[in-house]
Amino acid sequence: MEFTAIVIAGGISSRMGTNKAELKFGGHSLMERTVHMLATITSHVLIVANNATPYQELGYRIISDEFPGKGPLAGIHAGLMASTTTWNLILACDMPFVLAPHIKTLITYTERVTDVSPIVEGRGYDAVFPVSAEGNELPLLAMYRRELSVDLAHRLAEDNLRVMNWTRGLYHAEIKVEDMVKGTEVSSDLLAFNMNYPEDYERAAAIYNKNEFA
């Protein structure tokens, strides 16, 4: 399946106190590790960032929000608007334990279920979400159709910014997180782990240094 990988760099990282995407893991920034990993899977890699300066030397296309200051939905919208492929991976920059095998499993699953998806109102699935054992969706590690940018533009214009309010209304398929991590060193909890506070980074760095995830 041809797809575009869209990395959401995030906002001002006020809770972390510094730009999360520039935090180091194994001598490389989190953004550098993420985009280089994605480039091994697809030739279409985009970074969504309102400040392009930290990422210019990485060599990937950088785009900014059309609705700045409106959170993750604005980043998803910008990425989908810039995409040239039907299907798109959205990945937050602050999920350090997402590895290439996890993405490949998600892509394979998306290709399989969309080939046989029931048609509702003239279309198949809009999205594919990993879902934890507790039933929580991971909307910032998920696949979306490019056409969803139209609906997102309306929501953003109306300041309807809650991610889960949007995703609940999408016609979607689900893949269990535990199925995505099979055969890898990463647990289900680690795959879903994201960093918001300095202590999250300290924990993630300690786990990474101990295990040296590829």
Q: How far is C-alpha 179 from the geometric centre of its chain's CA atoms?
A: 18
Give residue 135's region: left, alpha or beta (phi > 0; psi -120 to 50).
Answer: left
Does 115 carry a binding-site annotation?
no
Does 210 carry a binding-site annotation?
no
Does 10 carry a binding-site annotation?
yes
Quote the DSSP letter at residue 185.
Answer: S
* Token code pair at residue 195: 């960093």
For tokens 């309306």, the residue is 154
**What 3-state DSSP class applies to 176?**
strand
Does 90 carry a binding-site annotation?
no
Q: How far apart are CA 57 and CA 196, in angstroms?
A: 25
Does 20 carry a binding-site annotation?
yes
Q: How far apart are CA 43 and CA 104, in angstroms?
A: 14
Does 63 carry a binding-site annotation?
no
Please enumerate, by residue number, every residue annotated as part of a binding site.
8-10, 20, 65, 94
Residue ranges of the annotated binding site for Mg(2+) are 94
Annotated binding site for GTP: 8-10, 20, 65, 94
